[in-house]
Structure 1
Amino acid sequence: MRASGTFTVTSFVPAGLKPEPEVTTALPVGLATIVKSFEGEVTGRSTTLFTAAFDQDSGVGTYIAMESFEGALDGHEGAFNFVHSAATSGSDRANEFFTIVPSSGTGALAGISGGGGLAVDEDGTHRIWFDFDLG
């Protein structure tokens, strides 16, 4: 099955956590927590642990995010975790990875498996889709 929707970031809070001992590289590494709100066939909210090595001036970097979602996919209500990452050279997405964490589903989403993806439209609209199986 596929469920798609749009999302908005409702909170992005940088965390002060740094690796110890810290290693200085050409791109600074940061950690933040994010809250997102979803609409469409994907409805609900997520909380995210977000780590990135990123240069805000050039838009170059890579991120990895672990999200905990609660809501509904195509009317199936519950919660689950998913993880995604991508790299960018400033205006693209490359080396994308997106998967639903096995055994993380609850409610009508218990047993969920699969993957999905993210895209950002030219107008800034953030899109998400899940290609999933409920086992």
Structure 2
Amino acid sequence: MKAIGTFSVTSFVPTEVTQDPPVTTALPVGLATIEKHFDGEVTGRSATLFTSAFDLSTGVGTYVAMESFEGALNGSEGTFNFAHSATTGGTDRSNEFFLIVPGSGTGDLTGITGTGGLSVDADGGHHIWFDYELG
């Protein structure tokens, strides 16, 4: 099955990171928590732990995120986790990864497995899709 939706970031809170042991690289490592709200065939909200090595001035870097979703896909309600990552050279996205965490589903979404993706339009619109199975 496929569910397509849009989302907005309603909260992005950077958190101070202290590495132990300290390691200095050319791109600083950051951590943030994010809240998103979803509309369309994907409805609900998510809480995200977002880590990145990123240069704000050039837009170059990579992120890794773990999201906990609460809502519905095509009307099936429940919760699940999904992980995603991507790299950017400043104007592109590459090396994308997106996976629904097996065994994380509850409610109507118990047993959910699959993949998906994210995209951002040139005008800033955020899109998400899940290719999933329930079992």
Q: Which TM-score applies when normalising by structure 2? A: 0.99
Residue 27 of structure 1 aligns to a residue in which SS?
A: coil
> Quick one: distance in 1 between partners of 2:18 and 2:49?
14
> Quick one: distance in 2 between partners of 1:5 and 1:13?
23
- 1:35 paired with 2:35, answer yes
- State the Cα distance separating 1:22 from its structure 2 match: 1.6
> Quick one: distance in 1 between partners of 2:69 and 2:36?
9
Given that 1:100 and 1:114 are in contact with CA atoms closer than 8 Å, whether structure 2 keeps it comes out as: yes
Tell me how large the CA RMSD over aligned residues is. Answer: 0.6
Partner of 1:7: 7
Write out per-residue CA displacement over residues 6-37 of structure 1, whole angstroms, 9 at most, x where no aligned residue: 00000000111322112110000000000000
Given that 1:18 and 1:30 are in contact with CA atoms closer than 8 Å, whether structure 2 keeps it comes out as: no
Given that 2:17 and 2:29 are in contact with CA atoms closer than 8 Å, whether structure 1 keeps it comes out as: no
The residue identity in structure 1 corresponding to 2:40 is G
The residue identity in structure 2 corresponding to 1:95 is N
Identity across matched positions, percent = 71
Give the aligned length: 135
Q: Which TM-score applies when normalising by structure 1? A: 0.99
* Bigger shift: residues 19-28 or 53-62: 19-28
Given that 2:98 and 2:116 are in contact with CA atoms closer than 8 Å, whether structure 1 keeps it comes out as: yes
- 1:80 paired with 2:116, answer no
- State the Cα distance separating 1:48 from its structure 2 match: 0.3
Partner of 1:17: 17
Partner of 1:63: 63
- 1:113 paired with 2:113, answer yes
Residue 108 of structure 1 aligns to a residue in which SS?
A: helix
